[in-house]
């Protein structure tokens, strides 16, 4: 990197640490460390939700998909709006009425402590893997861009995130997310401007070259295969809508990393407005990344080797960025780092919240509220674990495959457990416990062992398998062993809580 690039990166890291340290001056009990005193405004919540779900994987995967395959990946964008209705109208009011810190507290009320512990443990394992992958993938790109050692990049990024996450808690995480979103999108706009400025007709040339190369498919030229019902077709309209809907319901409905943002809101209405900002910001960011994919393709055509390494978007990403003027590499490094840090800091804080709320308090009741230092030590510990795990992430396929087959697919078992608890009176504690364990095993087998299926369907298959296992075992438990839910447990279903709320007005 040139001196201007180093200055940009150094300035960014300095601002991030400064924000974290400034917020840390306020000593926080865990209610504030994890929930920011339930006082946050819709603006930081909305952008934090966006950037929490947006990682360095998205930064490279979305643009890489457009570069390599066209706009098929954009078929999933309307799902952000589709999923808003159940999240805003059902999920958010449900959590707001519960008044919890960890989403998994609900499962103890509805079932028993074992189901809560299982779900929280599955979340921590799932999110730790996510953090490791989200740290490894962009670090690999950054190492290629800068020439720095891969493990050095992982250690530097993971270390900085662990420090400010431990220092300031969720408040620091959310305000740094706001800054990082502005850096990410602003940097993308500057990069696109630099790419267009070197073309005779500006961005019109980038679009013309991309359309001529088929990068607007399946929209232009139109590809009728997008309507195929064949589950082996890589991406279709149906797989993108159905699979992404299930994955997004897992993300926005039961993922502690995201739902913890809802808990920080000063009111239900604040959280709902924040979600509208979230999907608008997410669609803007992803469309900008699609344009980055067009710019990468136009660069490959311009240098006359567009047909070489078509399945290696990382190669073309770094080649494209290096071809831009001084400062562009620094902007990309900062953008990738921002996307990475936003995922890791959120994961650290939420894993810490889940561990303290669902595990530590059970052994040491009440002590966590008087020991904010414990929260900071645990945050550092989860940061170290994620950083070390990132060094062990191996060959798991392309970036887009990692995101859909493994990361999105592993959230589905949690969604099945929650929805059964909310809407099924037949669901029993034993059924959820045994079915949840078997569902996690099923999901691992499908994600790691099944090849050739449409990428978005992994989440659907994992969700369906876990649902059937939990529901089926619950019915067997009730029929043969007299198991089932007590009246006290059933009053925590969505219907019962809604009826109680209506009657109390």
Asked whether 253 and 83 are in contact (CB, 8 A), the reply is no
Spatial separation of the C-alpha atoms in residues 327 and 82, rounded to whole Å: 39
Give the predicted TM-score (pTM) of the model. Answer: 0.88
pLDDT tens column, 385-438: 888 888 776 555 555 556 555 566 667 889 999 999 999 999 999 999 999 999
- Rounded to an integer, the average pLDDT of 59-82 is 90
Which pLDDT score, from 0 to 100, does residue 308 have?
Answer: 58
Q: Mind listing the pLDDT tens digit for each residue in 137-167?
A: 778 878 877 788 888 888 888 887 777 666 6
Q: What are phi and psi of 265, to 5 degrees?
A: -70, 145
**Which structural domains are found in the chain, ordered by start?**
3-395 (1.20.1730.10)
Place of tokens 């200055």: 7
Quickly state the pLDDT bin for 366 (edges 50, 70, 90).
Answer: low
Structure tokens at 115: 């189901």
Buried b (16+ CB within 10 A) or exposed e, 211-223: bebebbbbeeeeb
Alpha-carbon distance of 498 to 493, in angstroms, equals 9
Percent of the chain with pLDDT strictly greater than 90? 38
Range of 201-205, 320-324, 498-502 with top mean pLDDT: 201-205
Digit-coded pLDDT (tens) for 278-331:
999 999 999 999 999 999 999 888 887 655 555 666 777 888 888 888 888 888
Q: How far apart are CA 165 and CA 19, in angstroms?
A: 11
Q: Which residue has the higher pLDDT, 256 or 87?
A: 87
Q: pLDDT tier at 470 (50, 70, 90 boundaries)?
A: very high
- Rounded distance, CA 52 to CA 400, Å? 18
With a cut of 80, say whether residue 364 has pLDDT above it.
Answer: no
- What value does the mean pLDDT take over residues 362-371? 61
Rounded alpha-carbon distances, angstroms, from residue 227 to 72, 185, 234, 237, 400: 11, 32, 12, 6, 21
Residue pair 9/330 in contact by the 8 Å Cβ criterion: yes
Q: Which of 361, 362, 342 is nearest to 350 (CA)?
A: 342
Average pLDDT, the chain: 84
Q: Cα dihedral angle (424, 430, 431, 434), rounded to 10 degrees?
A: 150
Say what the pLDDT of residue 505 is. Answer: 60
| Contact predicate 216/70, CB 8 Å | yes
Q: What is the pLDDT of residue 343?
A: 76
Q: Is the pLDDT of residue 28 over 70?
A: no
Provide the pLDDT confidence category of residue 450 given band limits of 50, 70 and 90: confident
- Are 174 and 44 spatial neighbours (Cβ–Cβ below 8 Å)? yes
* DSSP letter (8 states) at residue 483: -
**Which strand (E) or helix (H) includes residue 222?**
none
How many angstroms separate the CA atoms of 124 and 257, rounded? 10
pLDDT at 370: 46
Task: Give the list of residues 6+ apart from residue 409 with CB closer than 8 angstroms, or none.
Answer: 247, 443, 446, 447, 458, 459, 461, 462
Q: How far apart are CA 396 and CA 5, in angstroms?
A: 31
Q: How far is CA 203 from CA 179, 191, 239, 291, 323, in A?
A: 27, 12, 31, 10, 16
- If one compares 503 and 323, the residue with the highest pLDDT of the two is 323
The pLDDT of 477-497, averaged and rounded, is 88
More confident residue, 102 or 113: 113
pLDDT value at residue 71 = 95
pLDDT tens digits, 210-253: 999 999 999 998 999 999 999 989 899 999 999 999 989 998 99
**What mean pLDDT do residues 478-488 have?**
86
């Amino acid at each position: 990197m040139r001196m201007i690039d180093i200055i940009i990166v150094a300035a960014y890291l300095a601002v991030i640490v400064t924000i974290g340290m400034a917020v840390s001056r306020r000593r926080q009990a865990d209610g504030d460390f994890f929930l920011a005193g339930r006082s946050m405004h819709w603006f930081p919540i909305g952008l934090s939700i966006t950037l929490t779900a947006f990682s360095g994987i998205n930064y490279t995967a979305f643009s890489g998909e457009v570069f390599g395959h066209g706009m098929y990946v954009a078929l999933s964008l309307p799902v952000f709006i589709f999923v808003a209705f159940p999240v805003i109208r059902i999920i958010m009011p449900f959590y707001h009425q519960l008044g919890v810190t960890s989403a998994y507290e609900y499962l103890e009320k509805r079932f028993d402590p074992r189901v809560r512990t299982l779900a929280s443990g599955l979340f921590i394992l799932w999110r730790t893997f996510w953090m490791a992958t989200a740290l490894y993938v962009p670090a690999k790109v950054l190492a290629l861009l800068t020439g720095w050692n891969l493990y050095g990049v992982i250690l530097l990024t993971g270390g900085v995130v662990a420090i400010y996450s431990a220092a300031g808690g969720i408040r620091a995480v959310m305000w740094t997310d706001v800054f990082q979103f502005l850096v990410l999108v602003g940097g993308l706009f500057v990069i696109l401007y630099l790419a267009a400025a070197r073309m005779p007709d500006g961005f019109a040339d980038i679009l013309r070259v991309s359309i001529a190369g088929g990068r607007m498919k399946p929209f232009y030229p139109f590809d009728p295969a997008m309507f195929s019902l064949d589950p082996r077709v890589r991406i279709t309209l149906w797989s993108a809508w159905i699979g992404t809907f299930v994955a997004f319901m897992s993300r926005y409905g039961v993922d502690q990393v995201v739902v913890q943002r809802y808990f920080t809101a000063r009111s239900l209405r604040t959280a709902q407005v924040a979600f509208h900002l979230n999907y608008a910001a997410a669609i803007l960011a992803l469309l900008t990344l699609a344009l980055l994919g067009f710019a990468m393709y136009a660069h490959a055509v311009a240098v006359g080797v567009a047909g070489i390494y078509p399945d290696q978007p990382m190669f073309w990403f770094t080649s494209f960025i290096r071809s831009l003027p001084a400062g562009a590499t620094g902007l990309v490094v900062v953008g990738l780092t921002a996307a990475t840090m936003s995922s890791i800091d959120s994961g650290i804080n939420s894993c810490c919240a889940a561990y303290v709320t669902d595990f530590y308090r059970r052994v040491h009741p009440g002590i966590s509220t008087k020991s904010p230092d414990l929260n900071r030590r645990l945050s550092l510990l989860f940061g170290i674990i994620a950083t070390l795990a990132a060094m062990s992430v191996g060959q798991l396929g392309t970036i887009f495959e990692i995101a859909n087959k493994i990361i999105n697919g592993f959230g589905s078992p949690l969604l099945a457990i929650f929805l059964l608890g909310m809407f099924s009176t037949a669901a029993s504690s034993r059924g959820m416990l045994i079915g949840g364990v078997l569902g996690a095993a099923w999901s691992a087998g499908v994600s790691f062992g099944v090849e050739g299926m449409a990428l978005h369907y992994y989440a659907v298959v994992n969700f369906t398998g876990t649902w059937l296992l939990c529901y089926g075992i619950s019915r067997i438990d009730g029929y043969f062993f007299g198991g089932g839910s007590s009246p006290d447990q059933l009053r925590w279903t969505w219907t019962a809580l809604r009826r109680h709320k209506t009657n109390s007005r």
